[in-house]
Amino acid sequence: EVRKMGIKAIENEALGTKEYPDFLTLNFYAGNFDNALDKNYSIEIQDTYQRLDNDIAQIIDAVDEAVGLQNALIFVVSTGYFDEQEVYPTEARFSGGDFKPDRCEALLNMYLMAIYGRENWIKKYYNEQIYFDRKLIEEKKIDYREFQESAADFLIQFSGVQDVVTSYQMLHGAYNEAIQIQKNGFHRGITGDLFIELQPGWRIVTPKNPTNHQRVRENGMASPAIFFGNNLKPVKVNRVIDATEIAPSVTHRLRIRAPNASNNNVLQELF
């Protein structure tokens, strides 16, 4: 169990008793079974929350016993868990539709073959990103920027596609709010060549996993952020905070440098 491992680490590793601060992170899952509706398992969900509450309480007691809560900073955050709960009648008509990545990939590759030759130009589709065979593009001496733009111009014509952004645009300063969100998770050499933004209400349908369709949502998922211990004064933050404010707030309180990619401010309400 996660709780037992955490308590063992506190006790056996003597966390918090050395000259430099120690950092322990624990990840709990309190969701439902895969592809199951919460309404069908309400008793089990309540039991899960009760057990989670007890586990967190025991961990806090272990920290208090080991070093005292005044010598520890504890923060609890959530990933904003969400699973599709709606079950729509098959005859109902709603705005949106089904976006099928395998068809998108096949049609795009056929389009690129018509322009650049009969090759497998696409390596894969993953997480609304298209990955090209960059080595092949280089061997064929094709202009990489032009190749991306041609593919993006084709994809933007697909039903349900709101925008398509190239990695070249990411690297060279093209900006709008949607691009900035994607750029926060952009890492050259790892992320894709094209970023596809779908319209809200559309579903991403994967034939290989027909029970796990993903619906595009633009609304934010509310989740808690709780800080306590370390002689923090009780205060309620009456505003929406960014997840990127948490890491610099923790490091500021511990008097250490923030992560090297952190560029947000600390939570002023805590200090």
Contacts of 62 (CB under 8 A, 6+ apart): 6, 7, 10, 11
261 vs 267, residue with greater confidence: 267
User: CB of 104 within 8 A of CB of 155?
Assistant: yes
For residue 267, pLDDT beyond 80? yes
208, 223: one domain: no
**Average per-residue pLDDT for the chain:** 84
Query: Of the candidates 198, 215, 232, which is a domain's last residue?
Result: 215
51, 107: one domain: no
Query: Of the candidates 215, 235, 259, which is a domain's last residue?
Result: 215
106, 209: one domain: yes
| Per-residue model confidence (pLDDT) at position 239 | 85
Q: Is residue 207 part of a domain?
A: yes
82, 134: one domain: no
State the total domains in the chain. 2
Instruction: Identify which of 136, 159, 137, 139 has the alpha carbon closest to the alpha carbon of residue 149.
Output: 137
202, 141: one domain: yes
Residues 90-109: pLDDT tens digits? 666 666 788 999 999 999 99
Residue with tokens 């208090």: 64
81 confidence band (pLDDT: 50, 70, 90)? low
- Percent of the chain at pLDDT > 70 equals 83
162, 182: one domain: yes
254, 169: one domain: no
Residue with tokens 């709010």: 177
Q: Is residue 48 part of a domain?
A: yes
Strands 73-77 and 225-229: antiparallel
| Per-residue model confidence (pLDDT) at position 88 | 60
208, 103: one domain: yes
Residue with tokens 């709603």: 94
Contacts of 111 (CB under 8 A, 6+ apart): 151, 154
Residues 155-191: pLDDT tens digits? 999 999 999 999 988 888 766 666 777 777 777 778 8
Q: Is residue 43 part of a domain?
A: yes
Residues 121-157: pLDDT tens digits? 999 999 889 999 999 999 999 999 999 999 999 999 9
225, 209: one domain: no
Q: Is residue 93 part of a domain?
A: no
- What spatial distance separates the first Cα and last Cα of the chain, rounded to whole Å? 34
Q: What is the 3-state secondary structure (H, E, C) of the chain?
A: CHHHHHHHHHHHCCCCCCCCCCCCCCCCCCCCCCCCCHHHHHHHHHHHHHHHHHHHHHHHHHHHHHCCHHHCEEEEECCCCCCCCCCCCCCCCCCCCEECHHHHHHHHHHHHHHHHCCCCCEEEEECCEEEECHHHHHHCCCCHHHHHHHHHHHHCCCCCEEEEEEHHHHHCCCCCHHHHHHHCCCCCCCCCCEEEEECCCCEECCCCCCCCCEECCCCCCCCCEEEEECCCCCCCCCCCCCHHHHHHHHHHHHCCCCCCCCCCCCCHHHC
Q: Is residue 198 part of a domain?
A: yes
160, 181: one domain: yes
78, 25: one domain: yes
Lowest-pLDDT choice from 56-65, 89-98, 112-121, 262-271? 89-98
| Per-residue model confidence (pLDDT) at position 120 | 96
197, 105: one domain: yes
CA distances (Å), origin 37, targets 31, 40, 221, 269: 10, 6, 18, 38
**250: containing domain:** 2-87+219-270
Query: Of the candidates 170, 188, 215, which is a domain's last residue?
Result: 215
Average confidence (pLDDT) over 217-226: 73
Which CATH number belongs to the domain containing residue 209 in this structure? 3.30.1360.150
